[in-house]
């Protein structure tokens, strides 16, 4: 059922702006008449319902669009947050690698320092105990019934023998199978039993 209303009322009923009403009048989409210099519009109640449904649908669409926009905004925020998180993790990773490399260098320096100290201590101990060790070895040889080659030379030199003569005595004794002179051909070592060497003088 149609009824006659003002343009303002028509705008309110149909959910349009005044400009929208005037546009539809100009395009003959709305029936209108002019009375006393004012424009009146015929409005169909069924159109009002239709317009209200359109308005509701528009609101729904706008709501869906707003929801979609909100989802996109949330996703964008999450992406930005992940980017920042990855950037922070990268910095932490680089910092940790740098720290480990620095610690590794320090450990190597400490080890090198310890090695130098141990070498120094070893050299010092060797210089202190080497004469004592040599003396003990010499004593063990004497106790085992052997004398050192240099001691044999000293003994022979007391009898006015030259180095050449002493060497000749040793070679002849080995050649003749003198049991006081034991020569190891593999190790090239000579063992001399402590004995009376009067027959060689």
Model confidence at 154, pLDDT cuts 50, 70, 90, reads: very high
- Whether the predicted pLDDT of 189 surpasses 60: yes
Q: What is the average pLDDT value for the chain, to the nearest integer? A: 82
- For the full predicted model, state whether its pTM sits above 0.85: no
Of residues 54 and 114, more confidence is placed in 114
The pLDDT tens digits of the residues spanning 60-106 come to 655 666 677 888 888 888 898 888 888 898 889 898 998 998 888 88
**Cα–Cα distances in angstroms (integers) from residue 139 to residues 144, 147, 148, 151, 196, in the given order:** 8, 9, 10, 13, 19
pLDDT for the residue 124: 84
What are the DSSP E strand ranges found in 63-160?
146-147
Which pair of tokens denotes residue 81?
């947050």
Q: Which secondary-structure segment (H or E) carries 116?
A: helix 45-143
Full DSSP string of 82-109:
HHHHHHHHHHHHHHHHHHHHHHHHHHHH
Low-confidence winner among 37-51, 102-116, 159-173 (lowest mean pLDDT): 37-51
Say how far apart CA 10 and CA 18 lie, in whole Å: 8
**Comparing 49-53, 62-66, 111-115, which segment has the lowest mean pLDDT?**
49-53
Residues 19/23/24/28 CA torsion (nearest 10 deg):
150
């Amino acid at each position: 059922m149609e009824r006659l209303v003002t343009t303002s009322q028509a705008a309110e009923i149909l959910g349009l702006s005044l400009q929208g009403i005037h546009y539809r009048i100009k395009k003959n989409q709305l029936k209108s008449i002019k009375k006393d210099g004012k424009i009146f519009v015929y409005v169909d109640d069924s159109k009002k319902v239709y317009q209200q449904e359109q308005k509701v649908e528009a609101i729904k669409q706008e709501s869906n669009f707003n929801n979609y926009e909100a989802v996109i905004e949330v996703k964008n925020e999450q992406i930005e947050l992940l980017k920042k998180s990855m950037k922070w993790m990268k910095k932490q990773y680089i910092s940790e690698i740098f720290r480990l490399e620095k610690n590794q260098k320090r450990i190597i320096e400490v080890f090198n320092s310890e090695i130098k100290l141990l070498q120094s201590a070893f050299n010092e101990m060797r210089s202190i105990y080497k004469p004592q060790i040599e003396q003990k070895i010499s004593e063990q040889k004497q106790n085992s019934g052997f004398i050192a080659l240099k001691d044999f030379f000293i003994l022979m030199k007391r009898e006015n023998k030259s180095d050449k003569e002493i060497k000749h005595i040793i070679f002849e004794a080995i050649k003749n199978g003198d049991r006081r002179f034991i020569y190891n051909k593999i190790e090239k070592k000579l063992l001399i039993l402590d004995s009376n060497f009067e027959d060689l003088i």
